[in-house]
Amino acid sequence: MTLPTLASDRLILRAYRTEDRPAFAALNADPEGMRYFPAPLTRAESDALIERIHDHGARHGFGFWALERRADGAFIGMAGLAVPRFTAPFTPCVEIGWRLARAFWGHGYATEAAQASLDFAFGPLALDQVVAFTVPANQRSQAVMARLGMRRDPADDFEHPEVADGHPLRPHVLYRIDRADWPAGSAAA
Ligand SMILES: CC(C)(COP(=O)(O)OP(=O)(O)OC[C@H]1O[C@@H](n2cnc3c(N)ncnc32)[C@H](O)[C@@H]1OP(=O)(O)O)[C@@H](O)C(=O)NCCC(=O)NCCS
């Protein structure tokens, strides 16, 4: 399978290109952008993540797309759909996620890319549900989830199994959205 290219008003969601690697590595190395992850990524870890995203896309036909701004071709970050590798009460599932370079926060790009991803998830992929998760302190990410119309049930809160026991970033909140409720949140972006 290949990763399809999607388009929204201001963005193209596409597979990664070799020339995206330095900008992707820069955003993955930014301590502020990565403060809710256990550690920023090295260049090698960032390149390896692109390889994993590529393999995931080949296996599933969807994934974390590279986000390109249509106006000027700028690489602004990543967003899209993925099958988590860990086991939790809500897996197997498809998650939606986003990570933008800081220069591109505050423009609605994450929400716009997520809307295109959910259109794909509930349209061509015909998924029943998509989830999103983050740490309680990551309010910007939860604001994206809320704008999409995703809902949190505190009963779904969980300890992320890939984060060490006792680590402050181990507790997570879970948001869900069902196909029947899409595109309820899209007008609120
Ligand atoms: C999470 C993250 C993607 C959110 O980015 P963001 O810029 O806050 O979210 P959006 O792109 O949806 O932009 C929304 C903001 O743009 C504003 N905006 C400006 N122009 C807009 C437009 N044309 N349309 C919509 N919103 C617009 C909104 O009012 C909102 O502003 P606010 O934050 O002051 O309320 C970003 O903080 C990030 O990359 N963080 C690091 C990685 C991370 O933590 N990822 C999540 C892990 S689970």
- Render pLDDT for 70-86 as a digit per residue (tens, 0 to 9): 999 999 999 999 999 99
Task: Give the relative orientation of helices 139-147 and 109-122 as an angle to the nearest 10 degrees.
Answer: 50
In contact, 102 and 32? CB cutoff 8 Å: yes
Residue bearing the CA closest to ligand 1, atom 2: 141
Cβ contacts of 115 within 8 Å, gap of 6 or more: 8, 148, 183, 186, 189
Domain locations in the chain as residue ranges: 6-188
pLDDT number for residue 14: 98
The torsion region of residue 80 among left (phi > 0), alpha (psi -120 to 50) and beta comes to left
Q: Which residues line ligand 1 (CB under 6 A)?
A: 33, 36, 97-100, 105-111, 134, 138, 140-141, 144, 189
CA 19 to centroid of ligand 1, rounded, Å: 25
Residue 169 tokens, joined:
């970033």
Share of the chain above pLDDT 70, in %: 97
pLDDT number for residue 1: 85
CA 17 to centroid of ligand 1, rounded, Å: 24
Residue range 149-177: mean pLDDT, rounded: 97
127: amino acid identity, one letter: L
> In this model, does residue 185 exceed pLDDT 80?
no
- Render pLDDT for 102-147 as a digit per residue (tens, 0 to 9): 999 999 999 999 999 999 999 999 999 999 999 999 999 999 999 9
CA 142 to centroid of ligand 1, rounded, Å: 10
Superfamily of domain 6-188: Gcn5-related N-acetyltransferase (GNAT) (3.40.630.30)
For residue 77, the ligand 1 atom closest to its alpha carbon is 39
Residue range 12-25: mean pLDDT, rounded: 98
pTM above the 0.85 mark? yes
Backbone φ, ψ for residue 167 (5° rounding): -70, 140
Share of the chain above pLDDT 90, in %: 95
